[in-house]
A and B are shown apart, each in its own frame.
Chain A
Amino acid sequence: MNALYTELQWLPRVPVEFAGRLKALENARGSVGRELQAVASYALDLNQLTKLGNALGKARLEGMSLDPLTPFRLAVLSNSTIDLVVPALVASAARHGLALEVIQASYDQVAQEALTPDSKVNGSNPDAVLLALDYRALPLKLSLGDAEASFATVQGSIGYLQALRTGIKTNSGAVCIFQSFPPPVETLFGSLDRALKGTMRSLVDSINCGLAEFVSDSGDVLLDVAALAETVGLANWHDTQLWNLARLSFSDELIPLYTDHVARTLAAIRGRSAKVLILDLDNTVWGGVIGDDGLDGIQVAQGDARGEAHLAVQRLALDLRQRGIVLAVSSKNTDEVARAPFEKHPEMLLRLDHIAVFQANWNDKATNIQAIANELSLGLESMVFLDDNPVERGLVRTLLPQVAVPELPEEPAYYARTLAAAGYFEAVAFATEDLKRAGFYQDNAKRASLQKQVGDVDAYLASLDMTITFQPFDATGRARIVQLINKSNQYNLTTRRYTDPEVAAAENDPKVFTLQVRLADIFGDNGMISVVVCRPAGDGVWEIDTWLMSCRVLGRKVEHMVLREVLAHAHAAGIHKLRGVYRPTERNKLVVDHYARLGFTKLGEESGLTRWELLVDCAQTESAPIKIFRVNERSLA
């Protein structure tokens, strides 16, 4: 089976603390709603969902407050066994912000429950009734090649469903949620089954079409279970052994997927769907890093496999915008650099006038997303944030848990599919006003002013369990060192380019101090992310010839740790003063204050170029929660 769907891969993996957090809920004081929703937001399997659903039921029985979850009473009528589904459904609903109570009719009492005025279902005052029926519930009989009999069978089935609806509407007034019908796998003729009237496939096809029409006319809700089954494959969906053993309508492995789809439909009925898609740019909207690779270097072209993956993200964003979803951008970039592809790149589908708020700066993304929400006057729970970088995703999830942040796979070709699979923008109706909505938020790519920083970024950084590795240049690292020296534009103080032999010369010159820096964290190894070269410049002085860093690790205090390392080596080498220079280019505005932030004293300035110095023994350096690891160090006596 396709793991994206069976394992709900847009959701974060279940942490080891899952069981402990569930237990802690039992003794919690005050409202448990928020924690229930947080625990529900992982990719839980059937057993985990069951435990969580039962925990929610228990909390309700004990009179605990489930705020801020929205109460929802759902009655379920089914011709199959749904006992395994119900607790999982309660847990999935918590994921979507609902405190769900399920009224379960007796097994296979569909018509009685719907048509009797004081039945369990009709008497329970439900907000909605889910008709969880499969094809076995319908009065189907084969009528091969007989158009008239086949039409009568289809009408009979639709009539039956309409009668159930009338009963429920009359007796309880609740919204009816109908399910489309996945056809059975087995064919009679083969491909002919689709074309020939009166075969099972043809009958079920026609009933699904008729049902869709009737539901859009009646104002009820359709849950497209047939599409879900097609998505994962009919042979995966139907498990005949499970039907025979326990009357399960579909495979147990797909229960988490099914219950998430029911839950997102209920959330949509309550108007709780997301309204805004916030896009990261580098390696999300295009391949590559605009600040380093430039307009010609980013991958966003038709005909290029990598480019097409990112174009698919843009296409989906544009289509969502067309149906009324507001688009915004949050990117760590210099504003004009980030806007350039939207204005000038011929292959870009997204243009600035598609974007309501455009936040490109070097602040943390949680603060920027809060600014976007304020600018649009929409709640954080209406926001979806798409970013390829797991550290940014983790930061936003930690500091702004209301924002939906899908996990993304390694392969960009599946970004668009993963976002669509998550179903954040589920809607149960489409009105012409939706078409105009994006326009309400004047799409002029405006910049929102930042408020104060949200939440504790330092605590989040500490939770990343970072390890920094310092090492002088060596032959093994040289290729990557040369690449970084020749490619880095943004976090690069001097933008001096060196060839492989020049780097080798520095490596072998005992008077030159070199440093290659790697960073690993809980999400994996970032590889080499920083390079420093210091050259002797007179008695007891080092001149920082090169200092560069990958923007991927920006905002993690790596530069402070690097400075501490340089100072330690300088001290050991009898150096008393470091000199630095900032040489401005079109792309390195990011580091104009680099030396000021690190406590260097400014010596002078000439046409944008600034010179700085730091006395080694007086330096006050900031520390960060990063473990240090040294390889092949020269003596640090």
Chain B
Amino acid sequence: MDETQIYARIEDIFEDVFDEASIKITPTLSAKDVNGWDSLTHIRLLLTIEKAFKMKFSTAEIGKLQNVGDLVSLIKARATTD
């Protein structure tokens, strides 16, 4: 899976989780940029991503995530090692 594909799927997931179609997904996008991206929606976002990509993130990996770019790198790394 390449980054473009990952971004495309993440865009759908953001729309599903935030119920908002207009969020522009960029590598630097982070919680402060999106209305409603609080700590619990963050958990719901990660759970939805885990389910969609059929992978589980470790607590340490989740703790290091700063923005969408980090998230995509993590998914990419997981997709190749799993």
What A residues does B47 contact at CB under 8 A?
A: 46, 252
CB–CB A245/B59 < 8 A = yes
Asked whether B48 lies within 8 Å of A47 as measured between CB atoms, the reply is yes
Whether A51 and B44, one on each chain, are in contact in the complex, defined by CB atoms closer than 8 angstroms, is no
How many residues of B sit at the interface, in one of the four size bands? 10 to 19
A637 and B47 alpha carbons, distance in the complex (Å): 62
* Interface 0/1 of B38-79, CB less than 8 Å to A: 011001100110010000000100100000000000000000
Within 8 A of B (CB), among A396-452: none
Q: How far is the CB of A386 from chain B (nearest CB, A)?
A: 32
Q: Given A241-B59, A244-B59, A245-B62: A47 and B16 within 8 A (CB)?
A: yes
Q: How far is the CA of A265 from the CA of B74 in the complex (A)?
A: 42
User: Residue B17 at the A interface, CB < 8 A?
Assistant: yes
B72 CB, nearest partner CB in chain A, Å: 20
**Complex CA–CA separation, A246 to B59 (angstroms):** 11
Q: Which residue of B lies closest to A52 (CB)?
A: B19
Which of B19, B40, B51 lies in contact with A54, CB distance below 8 A? B19
Q: Is B62 a contact of A83 with CB atoms below 8 Å? A: no
- Asked if A248 contacts B48 (CB within 8 A), the reply is no
Q: Are A81 and B40 in contact (CB under 8 A)?
A: yes
Q: Give the Cβ gap from B44 to chain A, nearest Cβ, in Å.
A: 6
CB–CB B43/A246 < 8 A = yes
Are B44 and A46 touching (Cβ within 8 A)? yes
Enumerate chain B residues within 8 angstroms of A83, measured Cβ to Cβ: 40
Query: Once the chains are docked, how many angstroms separate the CA of A511 from the CA of B3?
Result: 66
In the complex, number of A-B residue pairs with CB atoms less than 8 Å apart: 30
Quick one: CB contact mask for A33-50 with B, threshold 8 Å, 1 for yes?
Answer: 000000000000011001
CB neighbours of A81 from chain B (8 A): 40
Asked whether any CB of chain B lies closer than 8 Å to the CB of A84, the reply is yes
Q: Which residue of B lies closest to A251 (CB)?
A: B47
> By the criterion CB–CB under 8 Å, are B19 and A51 in contact?
yes
- Which of chain B's residues have a CB closer than 8 A to the CB of A246? 39-40, 43
Q: Quick one: which of A76-114 are within 8 Å of B by CB?
A: 81, 83-84
Please state if A50 and B44 are interface contacts (CB–CB under 8 Å).
Answer: yes
* Interface positions of B from 1 to 49, Cβ below 8 Å from A: 16-17, 19, 39-40, 43-44, 47-48
Instruction: Find out whether the CB atom of A245 lies under 8 angstroms from the CB atom of B43.
Output: yes
From known contacts A244-B59, A245-B59, A245-B62, infer whether A47 and B44 are also in contact, taking CB-CB under 8 Å: yes
Q: Is the interface of A mostly helix, strand, loop or mixed?
A: helix
How many angstroms from the CA of A50 to the CA of B43 in the assembled complex? Answer: 14
Once A47-B17, A51-B19, A246-B39 are accepted as A-B contacts, the answer to whether A252 and B59 lie under 8 Å apart by CB is no
Known: A241-B59, A245-B59. A84 touches B43 (CB 8 A): yes
Min Cβ gap A15→B in Å is 16
Q: Are A248's CB and B19's CB within 8 A?
A: no
Considering the complex, give the chain A residue whose CB is closest to the CB of B38: A83
Tell me the complex Cα distance, A47–B17, Å. Answer: 6
**CB closest residue in chain A, given B40:** A83
Chain A 52-72: CB-based contact to B (< 8 A → 1; otherwise 0)? 001000000000000000000
Please name all residues of chain B whose beta carbon is closer than 8 Å to the beta carbon of A252 when the two chains form the complex: 43-44, 47
A51 to B15, CA, bound (A): 11
* Chain A neighbourhood of B44, CB < 8 A: 46-47, 50, 84, 252
Query: In the complex, what residue of chain B is closest to A241 when comparing beta carbons?
Result: B59
Assess the A84–B40 pair: CB atoms within 8 A.
yes
Q: Which residues of A contact B62 (CB under 8 A)?
A: 245
Contacts of A50 in B (CB 8 A): 19, 44
Beta-carbon contacts under 8 Å, A235-257 to B = 241-242, 244-246, 248, 252-253
User: Nearest B residue to A242 by beta-carbon distance?
Assistant: B43
Q: How far is the CB of A21 from chain B (nearest CB, A)?
A: 14
CB distance from B7 to the nearest CB of A (A): 19
The docked-state distance in angstroms from the alpha carbon of A84 to that of B39 is 11
Contact bitstring A488-499, B, C-beta under 8 A = 1, else 0: 000000000000
CA distance A246 to B47 in the complex (A): 12
Contacts of B43 in A (CB 8 A): 84, 242, 245-246, 248, 252
CB distance from B5 to the nearest CB of A (A): 21
The CA-CA distance from A47 to B62 in the complex, in Å, is 20
Closest chain B residue to A47 by CB distance? B16
Tell me, in angstroms, the Cα distance from A51 to B40 when the chains sit together.
Answer: 15
Min CB–CB distance B13 → chain A (angstroms): 9
A46 partner residues in chain B, CB cutoff 8 A: 44, 47-48
Q: How far is the CB of A601 from chain B (nearest CB, A)?
A: 61
For B51, the chain A residues whose CB sits under 8 A away are: 253
30 contacts between A and B (CB under 8 A): A46-B44, A46-B47, A46-B48, A47-B16, A47-B17, A47-B44, A47-B48, A50-B19, A50-B44, A51-B19, A54-B19, A81-B40, A83-B40, A84-B40, A84-B43, A84-B44, A241-B59, A242-B43, A244-B59, A245-B43, A245-B59, A245-B62, A246-B39, A246-B40, A246-B43, A248-B43, A252-B43, A252-B44, A252-B47, A253-B51
Which of B's residues lie within 8 Å of A, judged by CB? 16-17, 19, 39-40, 43-44, 47-48, 51, 59, 62
Assuming A47-B16, A51-B19, A241-B59, what are 10 further A-B pairs, CB within 8 angstroms?
A46-B47, A46-B48, A50-B44, A54-B19, A84-B44, A245-B43, A245-B59, A246-B40, A246-B43, A253-B51
Interface residues in chain A, defined as those with a beta carbon under 8 Å from any beta carbon in chain B: 46-47, 50-51, 54, 81, 83-84, 241-242, 244-246, 248, 252-253
In the A-B complex, the 4 residue pairs with the closest CB atoms = A83-B40, A246-B43, A51-B19, A47-B16
